[in-house]
């Protein structure tokens, strides 16, 4: 189904929203990468750049939504075209949220710049962030190539992202219990960890949209959503 | 209007009103319809879509033997209405057409009064014994066609004096007047403006409560809006027949997708 439309401007409209989406994805990946680097190296200037850059991502999301609304109103897309514009709209929302998380990480990086590192946590956060950023990248590549297999691999990876988060949560909790003086920093770092974990969820959602786009059905959600962090708490408390 | 959104499960329970099995239609040497089998469900709107010349109107016309009037046309295969073969020699096509009514592309009221347009069918089929019975049929039919309020004070005026949309609704009233069981509509809105189109679409949804409706349309959006089942014809073949939602969001055949999404297929 690679045939072009009889009305060629329809193709241009569809190409346009996809180009914007890919651009937005690139900016989000960059923001996540920079936020993680700023956190690991204590580079507050870079963190500020990430904070200030978020409005470009927001503006792109608005443009995509506006253009998609126009396509829906003027072209009344059906079948694969309909699924494409719906997927683009949904993915743009997820990317926008990822941009917000990058911004929030940068904000907290500035706030914790002078605080002591809690063990190896900033490095662990960077590893987690790299992992999750890789998921976003894979999810977008899967979308561009309409690659269901790759999209499924992203969904499978989210379990690992959740596990990394749980480990970090336990480690931060231990630090805070041992030295209550570290609670403020610990909480900041925990929020950062949670933000990164959420980015993984959005990457998963993007991958699901790709599967919907290609197959016409959303994958069934059969993953165990039990929050394993509560177990960590119980273990530490006992 | 919420009940327009049928689920597949709802549709599966529908009783089959008309059934076509391996129908072939020839115009002389031209093989216009190739082995088409389709079930038309009762109290359901079935839409036939496809490019010009794909055979959808030809097939529609088979459902009430309108093709009998074309000398070079030959219909093979079986077609049933409530289990009875409509091409059986004992079936009177005129009686059949009273049961399977038809509305055409261009409104074609008789050059008579609004009243006479609607009363004509019931009169020739002997459906009314008295004038008051006939009056009642005319009123009910015009009400069904959502034309009563506009026409009740001008029943003696010519049907041709109505607006295009009103004329089409008059033709629907005329088709409904003989108490049909199936209503065939061949592009009923193609000559109407958007408001008249919306009125006819609303009416089709109302008519679905009592009849099996089959509509041929060139408007994808119309098929998507009014029907619960959609059949896609291409080069005389029935390519895909499924629940309308499925056809328009996730068709199985790439030819269907090419056609409905406006690609060169």
What pLDDT score was predicted for residue A225? 55
* pLDDT over 50 (residue B6): no
Share of chain A above pLDDT 70, in %: 92
10 Å CB burial of residue A158 (0-12, 13-18, 19+) is buried
Q: Which of B197, B243, B258 is nearest to B13 (CA)?
A: B243
Mutate to test the interface with B, among A80, A83, A212 (most CBs of B within 10 A): A80
Give the Cβ contact number of residue B101 at 10 Å: 24
pLDDT band at A222, cuts 50/70/90?
low
Mutate to test the interface with B, among A2, A7, A71, A78 (most CBs of B within 10 A): A78
What pLDDT, in 10s, does the model give residues A158-202? 999 999 999 999 999 999 999 988 899 999 999 999 999 999 999
Rounded CA gap, A10 and A8, in Å? 5
Length of chain A: 238
pLDDT band at A122, cuts 50/70/90?
confident
- Across chain B, mean pLDDT equals 90
* pLDDT over 80 (residue A87): yes
What pLDDT score was predicted for residue B248? 93
Residues whose CB is less than 8 angstroms from the CB of residue B120 and which lie 6 or more positions away in sequence, other chains included: B110, B112, B174, B177
What pLDDT score was predicted for residue B264? 66
3-state SS, residue B25: strand
Instruction: Give the CATH number of domain A8-237; options: 3.20.20.70, 3.40.50.2020, 1.20.58.220, 3.40.640.10.
Output: 1.20.58.220
Whether B262 sits inside 8 A of A79 (CB atoms) is no
What pLDDT score was predicted for residue B68? 87
Whether A78 sits inside 8 A of B264 (CB atoms) is no
Whether B221 sits inside 8 A of A76 (CB atoms) is yes
What pLDDT score was predicted for residue A3? 78
**What average pLDDT does this structure show over B24-29?**
93
Q: Which H or E run contains B98?
A: helix B93-99
Q: Where are the domains of chain A?
A: 8-237
pTM for this entry: 0.82
> In chain A, what residues touch B248 (CB-CB under 8 Å)?
78-79, 82
What pLDDT score was predicted for residue B1? 39
What pLDDT score was predicted for residue B5? 46
Edge-to-edge, what's the strand order for the sheet holding B45-49? B100-103, B182-186, B212-216, B45-49, B229-234, B237-243
* pLDDT over 70 (residue A59): yes
pLDDT band at B8, cuts 50/70/90?
very low
**Contact between A85 and A68 (Cβ < 8 Å):** yes
**Contact between B145 and B173 (Cβ < 8 Å):** yes
* Of B221, B248, B258, Cβ closest to residue A3: B258
* pLDDT over 80 (residue A230): no
Higher pLDDT, B243 or A119: B243
* Of A3, A10, A217, Cβ closest to residue B264: A3
Q: Where are the domains of chain B?
A: 2-260
* pLDDT over 90 (residue B263): no
Phi-psi region of B126 (alpha: psi -120 to 50; beta: other; left: phi over 0): left
Whether B262 sits inside 8 A of A1 (CB atoms) is no
* pLDDT over 70 (residue B163): yes
Can you list the pairs that B117-124 forms with residues at least 24 positions away whose Cβ atoms lie under 8 Å?
Answer: B117/B159, B117/B170, B117/B173, B117/B174, B118/B142, B118/B170, B118/B173, B118/B174, B118/B177, B119/B177, B120/B174, B120/B177, B121/B174, B121/B175, B121/B177, B121/B178, B122/B177, B122/B178
* pLDDT over 60 (residue B244): yes
Whether B261 sits inside 8 A of A80 (CB atoms) is yes
What pLDDT score was predicted for residue A235? 44
Residue of chain A whose Cα is closest to the Cα of B260: A78
* Of A4, A10, A79, Cβ closest to residue B249: A79
Residues whose CB is less than 8 angstroms from the CB of residue A156 and which lie 6 or more positions away in sequence, other chains included: none
Domain B2-260: top CATH class: alpha beta
Kindly give the residue spans of alpha helices, DSSP state H, lying in chain A. 8-41, 44-75, 79-111, 121-145, 148-178, 183-215, 229-237
Whether B254 sits inside 8 A of A83 (CB atoms) is no
Whether A78 sits inside 8 A of B220 (CB atoms) is yes
What pLDDT score was predicted for residue B253? 95
10 Å CB burial of residue A4 (0-12, 13-18, 19+) is exposed
* pLDDT over 70 (residue A1): no
What pLDDT score was predicted for residue A237? 41
- How high is the ipTM of this complex? 0.74
pLDDT band at A221, cuts 50/70/90?
confident
Higher pLDDT, B202 or A2: B202
What pLDDT score was predicted for residue B191? 83
> In chain B, what residues touch A74 (CB-CB under 8 Å)?
none
**Contact between B17 and B182 (Cβ < 8 Å):** yes
pLDDT band at A238, cuts 50/70/90?
very low
What pLDDT score was predicted for residue A119? 78
* pLDDT over 50 (residue A234): no
Give the Cβ contact number of residue B135 at 10 Å: 14
Q: Which H or E run contains B9?
A: helix B8-12
Rounded CA gap, A71 and A80, in Å? 14
**What average pLDDT does this structure show over B118-125?**
93
pLDDT band at A226, cuts 50/70/90?
low
Residues whose CB is less than 8 angstroms from the CB of residue A220 and which lie 6 or more positions away in sequence, other chains included: none
* pLDDT over 50 (residue B9): no
10 Å CB burial of residue A114 (0-12, 13-18, 19+) is exposed
**What average pLDDT does this structure show over A32-48?**
93
User: What's CA A7's distance to the chain center, in Å?
Assistant: 35
**What average pLDDT does this structure show over B140-152?**
92
Max intra-chain CA distance, chain A: 69
What pLDDT score was predicted for residue B40? 96
Max intra-chain CA distance, chain B: 57
Higher pLDDT, A235 or A155: A155
* pLDDT over 60 (residue B10): no
Least confident of A128-132, B119-123, B137-141, B198-202: B198-202
Answer positive or negative: Cα dihedral of B230, B236, B240, B242: positive
User: What's CA B65's distance to the chain center, in Å?
Assistant: 13
Q: How far is B95 from chain A (nearest CA, A)?
A: 40
What pLDDT score was predicted for residue B193? 85
What pLDDT, in 10s, does the model give residues B176-225? 999 899 999 999 998 888 888 898 899 899 899 999 999 999 999 899 99
> In chain B, what residues touch A7 (CB-CB under 8 Å)?
262
* pLDDT over 50 (residue B63): yes
| Phi and psi torsions of B166, nearest 5° | -70, -40
């Amino acid at each position: 189904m690679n045939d072009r439309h009889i009305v060629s401007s329809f193709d241009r409209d569809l190409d346009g929203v996809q180009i914007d989406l890919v651009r937005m994805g690139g900016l989000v990946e960059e923001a996540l990468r920079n936020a993680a680097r700023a956190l690991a190296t204590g580079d507050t200037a870079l963190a500020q750049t990430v904070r200030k850059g978020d409005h470009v991502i927001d503006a792109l999301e608005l443009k995509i939504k506006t253009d998609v609304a126009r396509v829906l109103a003027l072209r009344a897309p059906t079948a694969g075209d309909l699924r494409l514009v719906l997927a683009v709209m949904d993915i743009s929302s997820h990317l926008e949220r990822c941009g917000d998380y990058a911004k929030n990480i940068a904000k907290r990086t500035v706030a914790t710049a002078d605080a002591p590192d809690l063990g190896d946590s900033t490095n662990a956060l960077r590893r987690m962030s790299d992992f999750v950023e890789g998921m976003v990248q894979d999810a977008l590549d899967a979308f561009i190539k309409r690659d269901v297999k790759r999209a499924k691999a992203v969904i499978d990876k989210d379990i690992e992202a959740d596990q990394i988060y749980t480990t970090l949560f336990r480690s931060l909790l231990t630090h805070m219990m041992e030295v209550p003086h570290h609670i403020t920093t610990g909480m900041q770092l925990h929020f950062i960890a949670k933000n990164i974990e959420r980015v993984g969820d959005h990457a998963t959602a993007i991958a699901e949209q790709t599967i919907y786009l290609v197959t016409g059905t959303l994958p069934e959600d059969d993953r165990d959503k039990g929050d394993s962090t509560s177990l960590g708490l119980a273990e530490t408390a006992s | 209007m919420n009940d327009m959104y049928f689920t597949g499960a709802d549709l599966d329970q529908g009783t089959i009103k008309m059934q076509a099995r391996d129908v072939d239609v020839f115009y002389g040497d031209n093989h216009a319809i190739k082995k088409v089998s389709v079930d038309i469900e009762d109290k359901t709107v079935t839409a036939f879509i496809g490019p010009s010349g794909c055979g959808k109107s030809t097939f529609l016309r088979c459902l009430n033997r309108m093709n009998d009037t074309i000398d070079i046309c030959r219909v093979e295969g079986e077609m049933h209405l409530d289990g009875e073969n409509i091409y059986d020699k004992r079936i009177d096509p005129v009686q059949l057409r009273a049961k399977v009514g038809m509305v055409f592309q261009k409104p074609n009221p008789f050059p008579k009064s609004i009243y006479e347009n609607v009363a004509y069918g019931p009169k020739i089929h002997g459906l009314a014994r008295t004038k008051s019975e006939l009056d009642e049929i005319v009123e009910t039919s015009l009400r069904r066609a959502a034309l009563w309020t506009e026409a009740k004070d001008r029943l003696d005026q010519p049907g041709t004096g109505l607006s295009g949309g009103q004329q089409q609704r008059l033709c629907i009233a005329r088709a409904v007047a003989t108490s049909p069981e199936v209503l065939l509509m061949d592009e009923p809105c193609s000559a109407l403006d958007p408001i008249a189109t919306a009125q006819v679409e609303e009416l089709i949804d109302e008519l679905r409560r009592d009849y099996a409706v089959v509509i041929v349309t060139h408007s994808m959006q119309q098929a998507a809006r009014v029907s619960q089942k959609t059949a896609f014809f291409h080069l005389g073949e029935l390519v895909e027949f499924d629940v309308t939602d499925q056809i328009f969001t996730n068709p199985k055949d790439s030819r269907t997708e090419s056609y409905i999404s406006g690609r060169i297929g």
